[in-house]
Structure 1
Amino acid sequence: MKDAHAPVQVLPPSSGGGRPVLLGNVVLGVAYSPVDVVDILRQAGIEESVIALDDGNLIEWQGGGPEVWD
């Protein structure tokens, strides 16, 4: 069991289908697909080469993994 949260958290889908993406306590944006998550993280300064949507040390998916959007 992990003691700390991953630095990036993708919250459960909202009623509109978007998922807020947080870095720490800062909302970076709302994603509507896995591609959006990568784009949001890239815009926040995280190199695309280190972004792996299945990396639990980087991203904590709440309310379902990267396949859940509605």
Structure 2
Amino acid sequence: MPQVVQVVVYPAAPDGGRRVRVAGSFVGMAYTVIDIVEFLRAAGLEDVEPEDVVSAEWIEWRGGGPGAWVH
């Protein structure tokens, strides 16, 4: 399990992307859980996996959880 950092995933935009902030900084637009994994790895959480993102209590999902993507 990765160390706990503040992660916020915002509601989906019309194109399906969700803004992601890690430790208060905007890191990009995610279109899948895999994108969030890559953002977290780039932030130094090298051992994070997709199942960690889906089940993590330390990720704040706004506007729906990890299954709320607009495509």
TM-based fold match above 0.5? yes
Counterparts in 2 of 1:1-70, with a 5 A limit?
7-49=6-48, 52-53=52-53, 54-57=55-58, 59-70=59-70
Identity of aligned residues (%): 39
Give the aligned residue type for 1:29. Answer: G
Unmatched tracts of structure 1, length 5 or more: 1-5
Query: Number of residues paired by the alignment?
Result: 64
Q: Following superposition, which runs of at least 4 residues in structure 1 exceed 4 angstroms of deviation? A: none
Assess if the C-alpha contact under 8 Å between 2:17 and 2:29 holds in 1.
yes
SS in 2 for 1:29: strand
Unmatched tracts of structure 2, length 5 or more: none
Give the aligned residue type for 1:31. Answer: A
* TM-score of the pair, normalised by structure 1: 0.79
* TM-score of the pair, normalised by structure 2: 0.78
